[in-house]
Amino acid sequence: QQQVKQSPQSLIVQKGGISIINCAYENTAFDYFPWYQQFPGKGPALLIAIRPDVSEKKEGRFTISFNKSAKQFSLHIMDSQPGDSATYFCAADHSSNTGKLIFGQGTTLQVKP
């Protein structure tokens, strides 16, 4: 019940295309859903996050779509760029905002020029 399942494991997108990464969770106590971007040899950096009271959040080229009833959320990267090539992790945290993030398995994104 603590798992966050992420797909796909890897993704190749042409420059200018849309990258879509999906995550699903089981624990309904989760109420904070961040997405992190990680470059090789670096720590993860927060991209965007959402709480269940909204179904979509957009920041620049990054959008989170959230489906509470399906317990799923996804990251959309519009106009994907080669600089977006990285590993992306979804995560979830409990309602008490413990800070004990449960991470998805990660998606390696490659954006081809």
Partner 1 sequence: GAVVSQHPSWVICKSGTSVKIECRSLDFQATTMFWYRQFPKQSLMLMATSNEGSKATYEQGVEKDKFLINHASLTLSTLTVTSAHPEDSSFYICSARDPGGGTGELFFGEGSRLTVL
Which positions touch partner 1 (CB under 8 A)?
A: 32, 34, 36, 41-46, 49, 89, 93, 97, 99-106, 108
**Least distance in angstroms from the C-beta of 7 to partner 1:** 13
**Least distance in angstroms from the C-beta of 106 to partner 1:** 5
**Least distance in angstroms from the C-beta of 16 to partner 1:** 27
Nearer of residues 34 and 74 to partner 1, judged by Cβ: 34
State the amino acid at position 35 in one-letter form.
W
Nearer of residues 69 and 97 to partner 1, judged by Cβ: 97
- Find where tokens 């109420």 sit: 31
Cα separation of 52 and 104, whole Å?
A: 18
Nearer of residues 1 and 69 to partner 1, judged by Cβ: 1
